[in-house]
């Protein structure tokens, strides 16, 4: 219960720090020299995202993280990292299939950990460590977490449709949020007061971001969303059955 | 060399890339990163610098037009887009294009710095840098890293077996006969793993905590997360409570770090192999720390030291401040150290012959 609350609060803080660059132009600035203190803002908000992940990771209660949960999470994380390394069409990789299915079958916390840790692991083995990694971990964690919150309809086809829908939505949203890590480079704080108008800070920033997103990243994200839907439609049913059968046999739970 | 020294170095480069758009500084630091990358390149691994350059061209293909069509300020007007177009209409200026290029340059610098970092540091060893508070997460990650080769070879085996049985792989749909056994095998393996962990006394390295103490830690973590969020909101949007927000954010961060520290204190870890702070690591760490400290304290020693602003009333010509040398020159340290080491090693090899 308390663990879920911590996960939620960390997600809230994560969301707030992701939107932090849009809040910046709202700060009072002595025109025409742009505020010097805003220069280190990107560093601050990467640090905040890291802090969110740290808060979740440090508060995993020992009583829940028994050897069963650790073993299942570890092995599935490894499998997910392998799935990510298999190239698909258009830069698509099957990284979200397992977090969505496992999050739905085993719960939100399990999904969060599987999503975020498999990105950490695949970055470690693939030399992909960089400032984008905390964002990737947080966003992939959310993909698995929300899959755990989705309702569980009786009819299996309904359930599969729901998961496929979430696969499509999360494929698009993942791209939109991931682009935020380099947004301070595309639209640096030093330049903000050019378009700055009183009261327009957040909205204007979001509008400019929407334009940027539509111009550059929408196409790739649409590919990813379509890939997620396809994978869940093709493999969702048998894999979900296998996961549930395994849980009944092995008796483990992560609240 | 100690991986923490490399971490400090890449942090120092990232701080420069994030805090200045001065073309001279960015260019010189990029040169330092390139030298480091060249020096760290081992004989076996092929250079990926070409792919960084290609990625850089992509980045510029995005940042330059985007900045040009959204920033319509400047003295040197090249041409005009019809003003009826929402957001993008208006004059296209030389300054806008230049600033777009510099935005891309900073991003390229960041990517190149992390490429050099990944080249210098053994990736799996980075897991050992994880603080003890993240015991469980670290455990899961090390299991995953260990199981990746097994899973990859199982993937190949299953594929071979299915091909022998007459299965043909043409499209995505045909992957199910691989996916299902792969997942089943992984779950099967986790049962064995958990039994092995139990039999070796897993979990005994974490000191048990009373229910009340655990509850207190979790409640404190929850409150500080909420406090930090609230503090950020007050700082960004509050008109009069900006200072209060800042204080709240700082206090909450301190509380959160204390929780993480307290959780980490419960974990006992043994180290068979330790990294040593050798002389070279200390030199590298010192240089990186000097650079980082100078960058972060830049506003103190002159408001415009790192600042570059081509739009009016600024000037296209970048200004140069001497204290910036303190941030840039130390960043050449890993390139020089690696060269020295390589020269030393080859000299040694020759004497052995």
Instruction: Decide if B338 contacts B38 (C-beta within 8 A).
Output: no
DSSP, res A32: T
Give the max Cα distance, chain B: 76
**Within a domain: residue A236?**
yes
Contact B186 A78 (CB under 8 A): yes
Whether residues A81 and B15 touch (CB distance < 8 A) is answered with no
CB contact under 8 A, B143 and A70: yes
Helical pair A108-125 and A2-18, crossing angle rounded to 10 deg:
50
Residue A38 in this model has a pLDDT that exceeds 60: no
The per-residue pLDDT for range A73-93, each reduced to its tens digit, is 999 999 999 888 876 666 677
- Distance of residue A42 Cα from the nearest chain B Cα, in angstroms: 7
A138 compared with B239, residue with greater pLDDT: A138
> Looking at chain B, which residue has its C-alpha nearest residue A241?
B180
Is residue A237 included in any domain, yes or no? yes
Q: For chain B, where are the alpha helices, taking DSSP H only?
A: 3-19, 23-40, 49-70, 94-120, 123-126, 135-164, 176-199, 211-237, 242-265, 279-296, 325-328, 333-352
CATH number at residue A206: 1.10.1760.20
Q: Is it the case that residue B347 has pLDDT exceeding 70?
A: no
DSSP assignment of B72-124 equals ---S-EEEEE-TTSTTT-EEEEHHHHHHHHHHHHHHHHHHHHHHHHHHHS-HH
Contact state of A125 with B110 under an 8 Å Cβ cutoff = no
Question: Distance from B86 to chain A by nearest Cα, in Å?
Answer: 11
CA distance B59 to chain A (A): 10
pLDDT reading at B28 higher than 70: yes
C-alpha pair distances (Å), A225 with each of A79, A92, A120: 21, 9, 22
Lowest-pLDDT choice from A98-102, B15-19, B166-170: B166-170
> Is residue A37 scored above 50 in pLDDT?
no
Beta bridge partners of A45: none
Residue A32 is predicted with a pLDDT of 33
Distances, alpha carbon B165 to alpha carbons A44, B158, B160, B162, B169, in Å: 56, 11, 9, 5, 12
Whether B123 sits inside 8 A of A130 (CB atoms) is no
* Number of separate domains in chain A: 1
Is the C-alpha dihedral spanning B25, B30, B35, B36 positive or negative?
A: positive
**pLDDT for the residue A250:** 81
Higher pLDDT, A86 or B44: A86
C-alpha distances out from residue B345 to A198, B91, B322, B341, B342, Å: 62, 58, 36, 6, 5
Q: Peptide bond preceding A14: is omega within 30 degrees of 0, i.e. cis?
A: no
DSSP 8-class letter at B312:
T
| Distance to chain A for B212, nearest Cα, Å | 13
pLDDT tens, residue by residue, A191-219: 655 554 444 556 777 777 888 888 778 88
Across the interface, do B189 and A9 touch by the CB < 8 Å criterion? Answer: no
| Model pLDDT, residue A24 | 56
* pLDDT value of residue A198: 44
CB contact under 8 A, A57 and B189: no
Q: Measured at the alpha carbon of residue B176, what is the angle toward residues B173 and B179, in degrees to the nearest 5?
A: 135
> Which H or E element spans position A243?
helix A218-250
Which residue, among A82, A68, A77, has the nearest Cα to A102 in the 3D structure?
A77
Chain B residue numbers with beta carbons less than 8 Å from the beta carbon of A78 are 143-148, 150-151, 186
Q: Chain B within 8 Å of A210 (Cβ-Cβ)?
A: no
Average pLDDT of span A125-147: 87
Tracing tokens 């905040």 back to the chain, one arrives at: A48
Which DSSP string do the residues of A45-104 spell out, in sequence order?
A: HHHHHHHHHHHHHHT--TTT--HHHHHHHHHHHHHHHHHHHS--GGG---TTHHHHHHHH
CB B109 within 8 A of CB B17: yes
- What is the average pLDDT value for chain B, to the nearest integer? 82
Angle formed by the axes of helices B49-70 and A201-216, to 10°?
A: 130
* Cβ-count burial A161-181 (b if 16+ within 10 Å, e if not): bbbbebbbebbbbbbebbbbb
Q: Is the pTM of this model over 0.80?
A: yes
Tokens, residue A57: 């990771």
Looking at the DSSP assignment, which residues form a beta bridge with residue B90?
Answer: B81
Asked if B134's CB is within 8 angstroms of A208's CB, the reply is no
Subunit contact A74:B140, Cβ cutoff 8 A: yes
Q: How far is CA B42 from CA B120, B227, B339, in A?
A: 9, 48, 12
For residues A154-171, average pLDDT: 92
Domain ranges (residues) in chain B: 3-128+272-352, 141-199, 211-265
| Mean pLDDT, rounded, for B53-76 | 81
Cα separations (Å) of B22 from A26, B103, B309? 25, 10, 8
The rounded Cα A147 to chain-centroid distance in angstroms is: 12
- Closest A-chain CA to B253: A51
Structural domain containing residue A82: 62-250
In angstroms, rounded to a whole number, what is the distance separating the alpha carbons of residues B204 and B206?
5
Whether residue A101 contacts residue A152, with contact meaning beta carbons closer than 8 Å, is answered with: no
Phi and psi torsions of B319, nearest 5°: -85, 150
User: For residue A59, which of A142, A114, A3 has the smallest C-alpha distance?
Assistant: A3
**Residue of A82, A109, A111, A223 best to disrupt the B interface, most CBs of B under 10 A:** A82
Give B350 to chain A, closest Cα distance, Å.
Answer: 33
- Cβ atoms within 10 Å of B202's Cβ, excluding its own: 17
DSSP codes joined into one string, B243-289: HHHHHHHHHHHHHHHHHHHHHHHTB----SS-----HHHHHHHHHHH
Mean pLDDT of chain A: 81
A9/B198 touch (CB, cutoff 8 Å), yes or no = no
Inform me whether the C-beta atom of residue A212 falls under 8 Å from chain B C-beta atoms: yes
For the ranges A98-107, B61-70, B75-84, the maximum mean pLDDT occurs at A98-107
Calculate how close chain A gets to B54, using CA atoms only, in Å. Answer: 16
Whether A5 and chain B come into contact, CB under 8 Å, resolves to yes
Span B260-314, pLDDT tens digits: 888 888 887 766 667 778 888 888 899 989 888 888 877 777 666 677 777 776 7
Residue tagged 């997942």 (tokens): B183
Position A17 scores a pLDDT of: 81
Mean per-residue pLDDT, B183-209: 86
Residues 6+ apart with CB under 8 A from A166: A100, A146, A147, A150
Which pLDDT score is estimated for B220? 92
The chain A residue lying nearest B193, using CA atoms, is A71
**pLDDT higher at B20 or A138:** A138
Q: For residues A119-131, give the mean pLDDT.
A: 83
For residue A25, name the pLDDT band (cuts at 50, 70, 90).
very low
pLDDT at A23 over 80: no
**Interatomic CA distance for residues A73 and A114, integer angstroms:** 6
pLDDT of residue A62: 63
Residue B129: per-residue pLDDT: 80
Q: Average pLDDT in the A91-109 region? A: 88
Long-range contacts of B340-347, Cβ-Cβ distance < 8 Å, separation of 24 or more: B341/B280, B342/B39
| B126-132: average pLDDT | 80
pLDDT of residue A142: 93
Test A74 with B190 for CB contact under 8 angstroms: yes
Q: Compute the average pLDDT of residues A223-236.
A: 89
Say if residue A255's pLDDT is above 70.
no
**Chain B residues in contact with A26 (beta carbon < 8 A):** 236-237
């Amino acid at each position: 219960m308390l663990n879920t609350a911590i996960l939620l609060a960390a997600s809230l803080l994560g969301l707030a720090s992701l939107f932090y660059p849009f809040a910046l132009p709202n700060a009072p600035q002595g025109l025409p020299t742009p505020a010097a203190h805003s220069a280190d803002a990107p560093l601050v908000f990467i640090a905040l995202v890291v802090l969110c992940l740290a808060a979740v990771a440090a508060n995993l209660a020992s009583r829940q993280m028994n050897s069963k949960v650790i073993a299942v999470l570890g092995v599935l994380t490894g499998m997910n990292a392998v799935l990510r390394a298999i190239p698909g069409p258009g830069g698509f990789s099957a990284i979200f299939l397992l977090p969505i299915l496992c999050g739905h079958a085993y719960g939100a916390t399990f999904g969060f950990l599987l999503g975020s840790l498999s990105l950490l692991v695949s970055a470690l083995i693939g030399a992909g460590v960089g400032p984008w990694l905390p964002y990737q971990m947080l966003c992939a964690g959310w993909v698995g977490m929300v899959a755990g919150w989705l309702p569980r309809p009786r009819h299996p086809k309904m359930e599969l449709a729901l998961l496929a829908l979430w696969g499509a939505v999360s494929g698009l949203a993942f791209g939109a949020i991931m682009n935020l890590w380099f947004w301070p480079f595309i639209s640096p704080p030093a330049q903000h007061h050019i378009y700055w108008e009183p009261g327009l800070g957040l909205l204007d920033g979001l509008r400019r971001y929407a334009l940027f997103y539509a111009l550059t990243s929408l196409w790739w994200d649409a590919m990813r969303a379509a890939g997620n839907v396809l994978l869940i439609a093709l493999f969702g049913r048998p894999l979900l059955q296998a996961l549930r059968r395994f849980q009944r046999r092995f008796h483990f739970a992560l609240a | 060399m100690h991986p923490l020294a490399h971490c400090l170095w890449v942090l120092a480069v990232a701080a420069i890339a994030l805090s200045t758009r001065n073309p001279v500084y960015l260019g010189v630091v990029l040169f330092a990163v390139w030298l480091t990358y060249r020096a760290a390149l081992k004989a076996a691994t092929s250079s990926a610098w070409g792919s960084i350059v290609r990625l850089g061209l992509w980045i510029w293909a995005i940042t330059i037009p985007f900045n040009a069509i959204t920033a319509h300020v400047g003295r040197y007007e090249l041409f005009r887009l019809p003003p009826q177009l929402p957001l993008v209409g208006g004059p296209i200026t030389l300054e806008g294009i230049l600033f777009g290029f510099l935005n891309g340059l900073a991003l390229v610098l960041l990517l190149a710095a992390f490429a050099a970092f990944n080249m210098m540091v053994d990736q799996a060893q980075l897991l050992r840098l994880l603080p003890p508070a993240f015991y469980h997460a670290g455990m899961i990650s090390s299991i995953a890293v260990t199981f990746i080769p097994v899973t990859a070879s199982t993937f190949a085996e299953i594929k071979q077996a299915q091909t022998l049985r007459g299965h043909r792989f043409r499209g995505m749909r045909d992957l199910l006969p691989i996916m299902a056994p792969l997942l089943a095998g992984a779950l099967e393996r986790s049962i064995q793993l958990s039994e092995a962990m139990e039999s070796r006394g897993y979990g005994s390295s974490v000191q048990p905590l009373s229910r009340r103490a655990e509850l207190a830690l979790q409640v404190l973590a929850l409150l500080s997360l909420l406090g930090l969020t609230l503090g950020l909101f007050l700082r960004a949007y509050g008109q009069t409570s900006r200072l209060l927000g800042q204080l709240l954010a700082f206090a909450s961060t301190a509380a959160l770090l204390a929780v993480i520290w307290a959780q980490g204190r419960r974990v006992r870890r043994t180290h068979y192999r330790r990294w040593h702070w050798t002389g070279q690591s200390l030199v590298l760490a010192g240089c990186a720390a000097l650079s980082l400290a100078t960058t972060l304290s830049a506003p103190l020693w002159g408001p415009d030291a790192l600042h570059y602003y081509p739009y009016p009333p600024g000037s296209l010509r970048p200004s140069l401040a001497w204290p910036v040398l303190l941030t840039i020159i130390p960043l050449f340290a890993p390139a020089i150290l690696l060269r020295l080491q390589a020269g030393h090693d080859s000299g040694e090899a020759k004497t052995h012959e």
